[in-house]
Amino acid sequence: MTMTSTFAPKITQKHLLSLKDYSTEEILDLLSLAAELKKPENKYTPLLQNKVLGMIFEKSSTRTRVSFEAGMLQLGGHAMYLSTRDIQMGRGETIADTARVLSGYLDGIMIRTFEQATVQELADNSSIPVINGLTDDFHPCQVLADLLTIQEQFGSLQGKKMAYIGDGNNMANSLMIGAAKVGMDITVAAPAAYAPKPEMVALAKEFAKETGSNIHITADPVEAVTGADVIYTDVWASMGQEQEALERLERFKNFQVNEELVQHANPNYIFMHCLPAHREEEVTTGVLEGAHSVVFQEAENRLHAQKALLVALLNN
């Protein structure tokens, strides 16, 4: 099937390892395509007919697996689940060898793993597109869905203020980069020992110079939320940090997004969470289920944003 210009974003990238590699125009182009593919009449547009996506999982998943698999099906292609417990990469075959073998079978690879270096090595040795479905450093697919959701809610991204409350993890890193790329201001509020790595903050600030956005780090949740259009949080202990859960509960207890904290935001603020949520820990049920919450719209948008990404990369 030949794509019309409506379904052909101008993307120069071969892979998606992090949004740091994408220009503002490329990100906005992907969001525009995602909005088109979200329209009911375009749900089953076969833009990837007979294409096959391999999905490597070292970390378990709900949203990533289901949204990529459903997205490929709706686009006329097929997605293949590859657990590292089942493939030879999990038994000692090198990442480079795996990349070269899979390049002969598939049209693209999505991988959800721990080390960013794993994704990078896979891409370096692959002749087909590689998509970062999550690493300990970045979660770019989630941020594409987040930006799509914010754009739907406010009509634009430029100049909007986001407050991220909690752990300076892969979500904080990716949100800082994504916000900087599209001209949003973002303040990350985290305990000092859990703030984003200085090199990640410096990277986001470099991108912010091009768009005029502001990147700010604080240990004060009220300061972060004051005047915010978007309040965002994530779990306090991510996969692989379960042994730290009790300690983190104590360290983060003053960083809960609750009914008192959100009073400092703009009256029409939206609440976002990448899910899964630990209710009554990082967020109260009242906020998560409240009138300002868009978390399930945000979760659905993983499907639409990733469909746009798949079309852009697998047809590039």
**Can you read off the two tokens belonging to residue 42?**
């375009």
106 is known to lie in a ligand binding site: no
Q: Note if 139 is an active site residue.
A: yes
- Cα 146 to chain centroid distance, Å, stands at 7
Q: Which of 107, 151, 153, 274 is catalytic?
A: 274
d(CA 140, CA 312): 15
Q: What is the 3-state secondary structure (H, E, C) of 51-82?
A: CEEEEEECCCCCHHHHHHHHHHHHCCCEEEEE
113's torsion region: left (phi>0), alpha (psi -120 to 50) or beta? beta
122 is known to lie in a ligand binding site: no
279 is known to lie in a ligand binding site: no
139 is known to lie in a ligand binding site: yes
234 is known to lie in a ligand binding site: yes
40 is known to lie in a ligand binding site: no
Q: Note if 91 is an active site residue.
A: no
233 is known to lie in a ligand binding site: no
d(CA 153, CA 157): 10
d(CA 309, CA 67): 12
60 is known to lie in a ligand binding site: no
153 is known to lie in a ligand binding site: no
Q: Which of 29, 107, 139, 306 is catalytic?
A: 139
Q: Which of 142, 153, 256, 306 is catalytic?
A: 142
12 is known to lie in a ligand binding site: no
216 is known to lie in a ligand binding site: no
Q: Note if 112 is an active site residue.
A: yes
Q: Note if 142 is an active site residue.
A: yes
What are the residue ranges of helices labelled H in 104-252?
Answer: 116-124, 140-154, 170-182, 198-211, 221-225, 245-251
Are the CB atoms for 274 and 300 separated by under 8 Å?
no
Q: Which of 234, 248, 304, 306 is catalytic?
A: 234
88 is known to lie in a ligand binding site: yes
How many CA atoms within 13 Å lie on the side-chain side of 104? 4
Q: Which of 15, 248, 273, 302 is catalytic?
A: 302
239 is known to lie in a ligand binding site: yes
Integer-rounded Cα radius of gyration of the chain: 19
Q: Note if 49 is an active site residue.
A: no
Q: Which of 29, 74, 107, 112 is catalytic?
A: 112
63 is known to lie in a ligand binding site: yes
Tell me the three state secondary structure of residue 193.
helix
- The count of residues in the chain is 316
Binding residues for carbamoyl phosphate: 61-64, 88, 112, 139-142, 274-275, 302
Residues classed as catalytic: 112, 139, 142, 234, 274, 302
Binding residues for L-ornithine: 170, 234, 238-239
Binding residues: 61-64, 88, 112, 139-142, 170, 234, 238-239, 274-275, 302
